[in-house]
A and B are shown apart, each in its own frame.
Chain A
Amino acid sequence: MEPVQLAAILSGTVLLASMVSVEIGVSVALIELAFGVVLGNTFDLNPDASWLVFIASFASVVLTFLAGAEVDPDDFRERFWASIAIGVASFAGPFVVATLVAMGPLGWSVKASLIAGTALSTTSLAVVYAVLVETGLNTVRVGKLIMSACFVTDMCTVIALSAIFIKPTVWFPVFLVVSVGLIVALPRIAPWFFGRYGDRVIEPEIKLVFAILLALMVLGQEANSQAVLPAFVLGLVMSRHYRQHRKEQERLRVVAFAFLTPFFFLRGGMNVSLGAVFANIGVLAVLAAAKLVPKFGLVSPLARRWVPEHATFTTLLMSTGLTFGTISALYGLQAHIINRTQFSLLVTVVVLSAIVPTAIAQRWFSPDVEAERADDARMRLVPDRKGRGVAEPVPAPEGAAR
């Protein structure tokens, strides 16, 4: 099939996915992924066409950059130790268990098992955010803690994903130095660059971000590594700038979601073999358990310590996954670390983990936001010795009845 023919079919599918997404209120990414599965299993389309592989790879790096840029670092500081503990446990438990399960009973290679561990340890900040905003919980302590913990898990995921691929070449130090240099320099030059060249229809600020991300991809490739970690950190250090310049972030998002990310999710779906999934339902169940059981085993006790009334809600939301799980699996497939069957199983578990825990959390365990607001009013954040926020009850006024 000619590239233009494949592009036309996929573009039509992307358009249809957007319309369905608006009509039924489900994220366009999930619809694109689902439509990709239908296309891949119904028609003889090539998900490995070079242009599609390139756009999907670039989209994954842009998505990672956006994930970093959308985080509010000030929120993260509010409950530092609780976020770190829950976030790290949420990553480490499933990472270790899923890796060992894949390596042992399932007989996957070490690298394939590490990809399984990474893909299944993720938590979807965006899925969680939608639930919290919808209920107003993003403005109360429990919601902020969950968001911060999700961010910590995301950070662990990108570190793991980068570490798995490292087979240092002579280019690795160059990749490292350039990454650190950009992370230090971009937030400093951005105000000048965006002020001088920004806010024009030719969008130099988007071109700057794309040029930097592509340079990181090239160096990452030469260094036998991945640009995912520097892209995420770069987004993170730019988040404060974007917070003050919302329009710039919106335009970047528009370009990414209109042209890049649809092909990433479609390609992800096209690589899922439904036959392989149905033929390995038992393996699917084992992988799902390898994700969920350690999440409950480790996150739940910690959540019970910091948010005792909402430990199950917190644990369920920390069990979700979508974007980083898909990115991890697709990286593994692209690098021929995992095969199509393994990819299909991992992506299916990731998608199910976006849907099932969210639905259960919303239906049965959603906290009452008004009660949480009232509860928050009785607490205050005080800085610890390092200036990080710790919650403590507001002391009763002198003379108040006890």
Chain B
Amino acid sequence: MSPYEFTNVLVAIDGSEDSRKALDCAVSVCASLGAQLTVLGVEGKLPAYAASLGEVDDVKREKDEFFSRVLAEAERDAHERGVEVRTDLVAGHSAEVIVHYATAHAHDLIVVAHHGHFLGDVLLGSTADRVAHHAKCPVMVVH
């Protein structure tokens, strides 16, 4: 038996066009392998060093509303293509939460998009780079 029987796939999305491509790719992989898909919405960080609770609440609420739409669309698309799917939403540092979530839920493949934020990528490395570096399972980076 191959050590790479992908049955529990995780795709992380942030609502961008690039992450949409990652979702499409993950759905295709799951459809062809009969794997279960988890779509993880990653809200990213809240305003650091806020001066009022309201500032945090406002951003959190906006993100929750945005991601509930994005995740509902992702769920509908996956269902239409016959893939069993569940969705979840987490906040925090993208790479950290993706790796942590995949480990905690025993995912055997992570699919992420490669974003093209030039300055951030050059200085810090992209989220995809960091996920690939720290994940405990195979990682598929979608360009």
Which A residues are closer than 8 A to B by beta carbons? Answer: 21, 25-30, 63, 66-67, 70, 124-127, 129-130, 133-136, 249-250, 253, 257, 261, 265, 322-323, 354-355, 358, 370
Contacts and interface: CB of A to CB of B under 8 A. Distances in A.
Given A133-B91, A136-B91, A370-B104, A253 B54 contact: yes
B54 A70 contact: yes
A125 B104 contact: no
Interface string B88-125: 00111000000000001000000000000000000000
B71 to A, nearest CB: 17
B51 A134 contact: no
A354 B56 CA distance: 15
Given A133-B91, A136-B91, A370-B104, A27 B50 contact: yes
18 contacts: A25-B47, A27-B49, A28-B51, A63-B52, A66-B52, A70-B52, A126-B50, A126-B55, A127-B50, A129-B56, A130-B56, A135-B92, A136-B91, A253-B52, A257-B54, A257-B55, A358-B48, A370-B104
Nearest to B60: A133
Say whether chain A's binding surface is mostly helix, strand, loop, or mixed. Answer: helix
B91 A322 contact: no
B55 A27 contact: yes
A354 B51 CA distance: 10
Given A126-B53, A370-B104, 16 more contacts: A27-B51, A29-B49, A29-B50, A29-B51, A30-B48, A66-B54, A67-B53, A126-B50, A126-B52, A133-B60, A133-B91, A249-B54, A257-B54, A322-B51, A354-B49, A358-B48
B54 A250 contact: yes
Interface in B58-92: 58, 60, 90-92
B98 to A, nearest CB: 15
A301 B99 CA distance: 33
When A and B form their complex, which 3 residue pairs have the shortest distance between CB atoms, in order from nearest? A29-B51, A70-B53, A126-B50
Contact of B53 (A28, A29, A129, A265): A129
A130 B54 contact: no
A25 B45 contact: yes
A355 B91 contact: no
B104 A355 contact: no
B50 A129 contact: yes
A26 B44 CA distance: 12
Nearest to B120: A24
Contacts of A70: 52-54
B114 to A, nearest CB: 20
A66 B52 CA distance: 8
B46 A133 contact: yes
A75 to B, nearest CB: 12
A130 B47 contact: yes
Given A25-B47, A133-B46, A125 B92 contact: no
B47 A28 contact: yes
Given A25-B44, A133-B91, A136-B91, A30 B49 contact: yes
A389 B47 CA distance: 32
B58 to A, nearest CB: 7
